[in-house]
Amino acid sequence: MLDYIIVGQGLAGSVLALELIEKGKKVQVIDNSHHLSSSNIAGGLVHPMSFKRTILSWNAELLSNYSITYYQKKEKELNSSFFEPLTFLRLFGSIEEQNTWFAKQSIEPFDQVLFDFDDDLSAFDVKNKMGLGKVNWSYRLHVSVFLNAVKNVLNEVGAIIEEQFDYNDLDLSNEGVLYKGIKAGGVIFCEGHQYIHNPYLNYLPENLTKGEILRIKVKNLPSYALSKNCFVLPLGDEEYILGATYDWGNKDYKKTEEAREELLEKFENISDGEVQVLEQRVGIRPTTIDRKPILGTHPVLSTVHVFNGLGSKGVQLAPYYAKRMAEFLLQDEILEKEINITRFTKKYFKG
């Protein structure tokens, strides 16, 4: 008998599977390799800031340090290369933003994050009249490479089945679960935005976000990640990822001309360089109404668990909260209210 069936091998499912395996648990991951999942189309850019108000994003200090250490360690363990430290530059949009930046540089913990950047960018086609700063704790995770490395590990131990999970084939009891002959102590749903189709979890409030990015070719930009109303992520050979849009109205996988034009228009805040669009990608982020992940156990079904809702910060959130999920499952540790599924139970679960 297995300990857990994990549904989904995106970022959430992959990191949780590794966490449980390291703790000696037997898992079976079921994943349909959905090529339009947010994990598979993500640019993988991570930084700790919310630039709108020049503040740190939620739990940034804890999550940044934990995730950086985690991915560096996993590179060695998985014998792969997917973690890329970045020089990440913020182009100031106003004198007010510039003044706020400089003022916060001497305040903890901003003094570890916000830095001056003195390199001369005049030779590049970059608009930085208001100046710019460097953001520490920034990196890129090559998400697809990481997921493939995890899949290789799961394949080696026979712990992954590549197929669409069928809820009708899941039998539940207080003692465990049974799925197509596979017995386990419980099932953990890590399905990303697909949770809206899950009969056990579709009571959760839906706040999915459609996102589109472009892969572009443009000359005379530096090999740094740049931000101002959008982000530009260097890929090499004059290619970059330009992103990202946030569409709360549509939940389809259609690439839109509106998103393309929006991104190209925002790019003009960074550079006047001539852009060639090479590719357009679309995905659905599993964002939540309070922008925080969902961890825990179904309010009635004790063998049904969820680790989801990582949203646009999933790369940064996944390692630490997979650890917390494992501690909850294996050590009965109480989850913080702000991430616990119970925060939605009273209002949304009808029984």
Based on the fold, state whether residues 133 and 69 are members of the same structural domain: yes
Based on the fold, state whether residues 223 and 335 are members of the same structural domain: no
Q: Give the H or E element holding residue 91.
A: strand 88-91
Based on the fold, state whether residues 82 and 227 are members of the same structural domain: no
Task: Output the domain CATH number for residue 254.
Answer: 3.30.9.10
Based on the fold, state whether residues 235 and 322 are members of the same structural domain: no
Mean pLDDT over 334-338 rounds to 97
In this prediction, residue 35 has a pLDDT band, given cuts at 50, 70 and 90, of low
Based on the fold, state whether residues 61 and 159 are members of the same structural domain: no
Based on the fold, state whether residues 13 and 161 are members of the same structural domain: yes
In this prediction, residue 218 has a pLDDT band, given cuts at 50, 70 and 90, of very high
Evaluated on CA atoms 331, 351, 311, 17, the torsion sign reads positive
Task: Output the domain CATH number for residue 159.
Answer: 3.50.50.60
User: What pLDDT is recorded for position 42?
Assistant: 72
pLDDT at 36 over 90: no
User: What pLDDT is recorded for position 33?
Assistant: 76
Based on the fold, state whether residues 200 and 315 are members of the same structural domain: yes
In this prediction, residue 37 has a pLDDT band, given cuts at 50, 70 and 90, of low
Distance in angstroms (rounded) separating the CA atoms of residues 210 and 232: 19
Q: What is the share, in percent, of the chain residues with pLDDT greater than 70?
A: 98
Residue carrying the six token digits 């790369």 = 315
Distance in angstroms (rounded) separating the CA atoms of residues 177 and 3: 10
User: What pLDDT is recorded for position 351?
Assistant: 77
Which residues span the domain enclosing 136? 45-141
Distance in angstroms (rounded) separating the CA atoms of residues 40 and 126: 30
Distance in angstroms (rounded) separating the CA atoms of residues 240 and 262: 16
User: What pLDDT is recorded for position 102?
Assistant: 96
Domain end among 117, 141, 165: 141
The number of helix segments (H) and strand segments (E) in the chain equals: 8, 21
Q: Which residues contact 205 (CB under 8 A, 6 or more apart)?
A: 288, 289, 344, 348
Residue carrying the six token digits 């089945």 = 161
Based on the fold, state whether residues 269 and 340 are members of the same structural domain: no
In this prediction, residue 40 has a pLDDT band, given cuts at 50, 70 and 90, of low
Residues 164-213 pLDDT 10s: 999 999 999 989 999 999 999 999 999 999 999 999 999 999 999 999 99
Based on the fold, state whether residues 51 and 130 are members of the same structural domain: yes
Distance in angstroms (rounded) separating the CA atoms of residues 191 and 78: 23
Mean pLDDT over 251-265 rounds to 96
Give the residue from 208, 234, 284, 210 showing the smallest Cα distance to 38: 284
Based on the fold, state whether residues 323 and 178 are members of the same structural domain: yes
Based on the fold, state whether residues 342 and 305 are members of the same structural domain: yes
pLDDT at 322 over 60: yes
Alpha carbon separation from 17 to 159, 164, 193, 316, 348 (Å, rounded) = 9, 18, 19, 17, 29
Domain end among 234, 268, 285: 285
Domain end among 141, 162, 181: 141
Total domain count for the chain? 3
Based on the fold, state whether residues 261 and 309 are members of the same structural domain: no
Mean pLDDT over 223-244 rounds to 96
pTM: 0.96
